[in-house]
Amino acid sequence: MKIGIPRAMNYYNYYPFWYGFFTYLGIEPVLSSPTTKKTVSMGSEIVVPETCLPVKIYMGHVLDLIDNKDIDIIFSPSHQSIEHKIYNCSKIRGLPDLVRNVVKRNFLLIEPTLDKSEKNQGLYQYLYESVAPLGITDKKLIKKASKAGWEMQNNFTAMMGEGMSFRKAMKNAINGRYVSETEEDNKKYPVKVAIISHGYNLYDDRISMGIFDKLEMLDVKTFVPENLTLKQMENGFPVLDTTLYWANEYEMTGAAGYYLVDKKIDGLITLTSFGCGPDSIMIERLTRFAKKYSKPLLNLTVDEHTGEAGFITRLEAFTDMLIRRKRENIVKTYSGQFGDTKEEKQLKNQAANF
Ligand code: SF4
């Protein structure tokens, strides 16, 4: 039996779990192809224009599974709340409702609900709803499958936390491997930047326009929310003088607050999608606090029409500014501290030429 999983939205957070869970039960998860221009346009055609880009892309992936991969069972969960009274954005909560209403094809929609704010709607109920429509109702077996899923998910989380790239961590996790060594990185980077975004924006190369490769070419070392623990992200909320309400604000507000006061980080980049209500509130708050902490901030908003050339120009200008600023700070710190000896003059030159 095959089950189609759209390579979008929650895929970027939970695919290792689903992979482990379904394969344990003898169900083969089939992914849609990576996002292309066509995926974006297919999805955009069936929803209203105001819908955020990640949701449009999600719809394109559902169509890809049905039309191109011959899949007639689609897994589209509704994650209402993942902690008591901590809710997801309404579009994430209503994802299966949207699929049911806009995708005009014949298929079976598996739409379990996870709502930790409601009684009897916890993880095991969610997992039961994920496979009961496929004829699997043995609760003991479902629990064992859940354990297999968590093993893969925990490996993935640990590798991402250690700074492994998304692609490599995902590949290792679904091959049942935990590779403890982080990637060799002997390169010296003049500046370090934290990118604040949701996984479904960051790791979909079509949405993020390959931001990691572009920054690497500019010699910028990048950090992401997945490098932080939940506790570190919680510590970020008071920095921005706020508390947690939206579940997906952990990776936005929490990570932004944490990196804002992290001295090793020279600047922050936010990557958000046009039409995203929750993120636009966060950006406004972060912009105010970035000024307060004198931390440079670049806000990038993408939609289906965003061009790559303008995107690169903005990254280049931001990187140049960070390097200039860092050099000035170094010179300021050391000016007056150097004497006239040959070695001290050499040090002063080094600082000025950084
Ligand atoms: S948080 Fe924003 S980008 Fe994500 S689904 Fe909701 S509206 Fe879309």
| Distance in Å, CA 157 to ligand 1 centroid | 22
Strands of the 2-5 sheet, one edge to the other? 28-31, 2-5, 73-75, 108-110
Ligand 1 close to Cβ of residue 54 (< 6 A): yes
Q: Give the CA distances from residue 189 to residues 14, 24, 212, 223, in Å, rounded to whole numbers and listed in that order.
A: 31, 43, 14, 12
Q: Which residues pair with 192 in a beta bridge?
A: 221
Residue with CA closest to ligand 1 atom 7: 276
* Predicted pLDDT at 304: 86
* Predicted pLDDT at 274: 87
Ligand 1 close to Cβ of residue 91 (< 6 A): yes
* Predicted pLDDT at 34: 97
Amino acid letter, 122:
G
State the burial class of residue 47 (Cβ atoms within 10 Å of its Cβ: 0-12, 13-18, 19+). middle
How many C-alpha atoms does 87 have within 13 Å on its Cβ side?
Answer: 9
**C-beta separation of 73 from 2 below 8 A:** yes
Pairing between strand 2-5 and 28-31? Answer: parallel
* Predicted pLDDT at 79: 92
Q: What is the C-alpha to C-alpha distance for residues 204 and 149, in angstroms, rounded to an integer?
A: 23
* Predicted pLDDT at 315: 96
* Predicted pLDDT at 266: 96
Nearest to 252 by CA among 271, 239, 266: 271
Ligand 1 close to Cβ of residue 278 (< 6 A): yes
Q: What is the pLDDT along the chain (354 residues), one digit of tens a residue?
A: 999 999 999 999 999 999 999 999 999 999 999 999 999 999 999 999 999 999 999 999 999 999 999 999 999 999 998 788 888 889 999 999 999 999 999 999 999 999 988 887 789 999 999 999 999 999 999 999 999 999 999 999 999 999 999 999 999 999 999 988 665 566 788 899 999 999 999 999 999 999 999 999 999 999 999 999 989 999 999 999 888 777 777 788 999 999 999 999 999 999 999 889 888 888 999 999 999 999 999 999 998 888 888 899 999 999 999 999 888 777 766 666 666 777 666 666 666 665
Q: What is the C-alpha to C-alpha distance for residues 23 and 321, in angstroms, rounded to an integer?
A: 49
Amino acid letter, 30:
V
Ligand 1 atom at minimum distance from 52 CA: 8
Q: Give the CA distances from residue 272 to residues 130, 277, 282, in Å, rounded to whole numbers and listed in that order.
A: 30, 10, 10
* Predicted pLDDT at 201: 95
| Distance in Å, CA 287 to ligand 1 centroid | 19
Ligand 1 close to Cβ of residue 247 (< 6 A): no
DSSP 36-103: -HHHHHHHHHHS-TTS-HHHHHHHHHHHHHHHHS---EEE--EEEEEETTEEPPHHHHTHHHHHHHH-
Ligand 1 close to Cβ of residue 149 (< 6 A): no
* Predicted pLDDT at 121: 79
* Predicted pLDDT at 306: 84
Coil vs helix vs strand at 2: strand
Q: Give the CA distances from residue 295 to residues 1, 216, 267, 325, 352, in Å, rounded to whole numbers and listed in that order.
A: 52, 21, 6, 11, 21
Ligand 1 atom at minimum distance from 201 CA: 3
Q: Which tens digit of pLDDT belongs to each residue from 45-69? A: 999 999 999 999 999 999 999 999 9
Nearest to 92 by CA among 138, 55, 143: 55
* Predicted pLDDT at 118: 83
* Predicted pLDDT at 99: 97
**C-beta separation of 117 from 87 below 8 A:** yes
| Distance in Å, CA 55 to ligand 1 centroid | 7
Ligand 1 close to Cβ of residue 81 (< 6 A): no
Ligand 1 close to Cβ of residue 130 (< 6 A): no
| Distance in Å, CA 91 to ligand 1 centroid | 6
Ligand 1 atom at minimum distance from 90 CA: 6
CATH class of domain segment(s) 191-334: alpha beta
Q: What is the C-alpha to C-alpha distance for residues 150 and 155, in angstroms, rounded to an integer?
A: 8
| Distance in Å, CA 190 to ligand 1 centroid | 33
Which ranges in the chain are annotated with CATH 3.40.50.11900? 191-334
Q: Which tens digit of pLDDT belongs to each residue from 309-345? A: 889 999 999 999 999 988 877 776 666 666 677 766 6
Dihedral, 283, 289, 293, 299 alpha carbons, nearest 10: 10
